[in-house]
Amino acid sequence: MDMRLAGRVAVVTGASKGIGLAVTRTLLDEGAKVVAVSRKAGAELDALAGPNLVHVAADLMDPDAPALAVERAVEVFGGLDVLVNNAGGPPPGATLPRFGFQTPSDDDWRDMFEFNVFGVVRAVRAAIPHLLKSDAAAIVNVSSVNGRRPGPMNSDYNAAKAALNNVAKGLSEEFAPQGIRVNTVSPGPVRTPWWTDEGGAADIIAGATGSDRDAVLDGGAAQMMALTTGRLADPQEVADVVALLASPRSGSTTGAEFVVDSGFLKEI
């Protein structure tokens, strides 16, 4: 199926690994021009190098970074059609999961919202004037199922993603009449470096449960979270949904949330 993304210009944040890398690769495969935003490029992103890819080294904790990335897209490719706000999760220097409400400090809460909410707000604010000039503008925010299911872990992260969902819904109401669609993709647990890196979620959960990281990754986490599929999702499975929502083929879809969660959410 032709996604009608050829020649479209996209900015993707958190693009050097995991879901963001998969989104970047998918958009390039569909013929889009991509400005990939991350603190460092990394070997896998470097392997995608070509005329349709520009890397912007930026830390989205810096209030000026989102606007600089958007302006770079306009400077190099002449405009902007798609903004994928994928960067999120633990702020730089933090690790998740955090167990218990008392664990995160005020600074932890501030950093979590700075990275997962304010970084998105600033990117959207910078992108809107350019997206209004596009004939098929789309914003896709990557949130989390944890924004819909509060729990005794990661209360700061869960609240930040709930806020992000609310912002996206409001944006869709305001800007759909002006031609900008805004949608949300909410992954469940995805087999990304957040899980697999040394000291990441798999190691933390293994230490808390007396297990080992391979057991956590190969089924323990899925069992603990009652994932219907029995496994963590693959980043490409999330990227495919992001690409469809970015595509003009989703022209009547806005204000929606699409869940890619291996069956984590059970609610109707």
Give catalytic residues, as residue numbers.
157
Q: How far is CA 153 from CA 100, 102, 117, 165, in A?
A: 5, 10, 19, 19
The strand order across the sheet containing 137-142 reads 53-57, 33-38, 9-13, 82-85, 137-142, 180-187, 257-260
How many angstroms separate the CA atoms of 199 and 212, rounded?
Answer: 12
Q: Could you give the angle at the alpha carbon of 231 between the alpha carbons of 189 and 239, nearest 5°?
A: 55
What angle, 0 to 180 degrees and rounded to 10, lies between the N-to-C axes of helices 106-113 and 155-175?
30
Helix/strand/coil for 260 = strand
Q: Is the N-terminal amide bond of 97 cis, ω within 30° of 0?
A: yes
Q: Read out DSSP for 113-146?
A: HIIIIIHHHHHHHHHHHHHTT-SSEEEEEE--GG
Q: Which of 35, 44, 93, 25 is nearest to 68 (CA)?
A: 35
| Helix residue ranges per DSSP H, the chain | 18-29, 43-46, 65-77, 106-113, 119-131, 155-175, 193-196, 201-209, 213-215, 221-224, 235-246
Q: Which residues pair with 99 in a beta bridge?
A: 153
